[in-house]
Amino acid sequence: MSQQIDAAKLQQRIQTGDTLNLLDVREAIEYHTFNIGGQHIPVSKLKQNINSINYNKTDEIIVICSAGIRSDTAQAILTENGFQNVVNLKGGLKALQKLKNK
């Protein structure tokens, strides 16, 4: 079972100042339009750029995209490449933005 974090829990961790290892796997235009920080590698380029990830293979890495679908794919790619603690943002940034708009 793949690990997931929901938007409310992630928002809580951001607000409490947790140091988070975020990997945004959306395309460049999406990332530059809106992002919450972290490293940016589009999922389409992730396999070729796996060695440029700035985090250790044992670190918790939270993978984010718009709706949680591409980040789910990225999570599988990272896990296959030896990353041990990869967490997918359930519902993606859309879920996080919905919370902020409440």
> Each residue of 52-78: pLDDT tens digit?
999 999 999 999 999 999 999 999 999
How many Å apart are CA 22 and CA 102, to the nearest integer? 24
- Give the torsion through C-alpha atoms of 94, 33, 36, 38, to 10 deg: 120
Q: Is this structure's pTM higher than 0.85?
A: yes
Average pLDDT over residues 74-84: 97
Encode pLDDT of 34-48 as tens digits: 999 999 999 999 999
Average pLDDT over residues 2-24: 95
Domains of the chain from N-terminus onward: 3-100 (3.40.250.10)
User: 101: burial class by Cβ within 10 Å (0-12, 13-18, 19+)?
Assistant: exposed
Confidence of residue 101 (pLDDT cuts 50, 70, 90): confident
Task: Give the angle 25-23-69 at the CA atoms, nearest 5°.
Answer: 40
- Write down the pLDDT at residue 1: 61
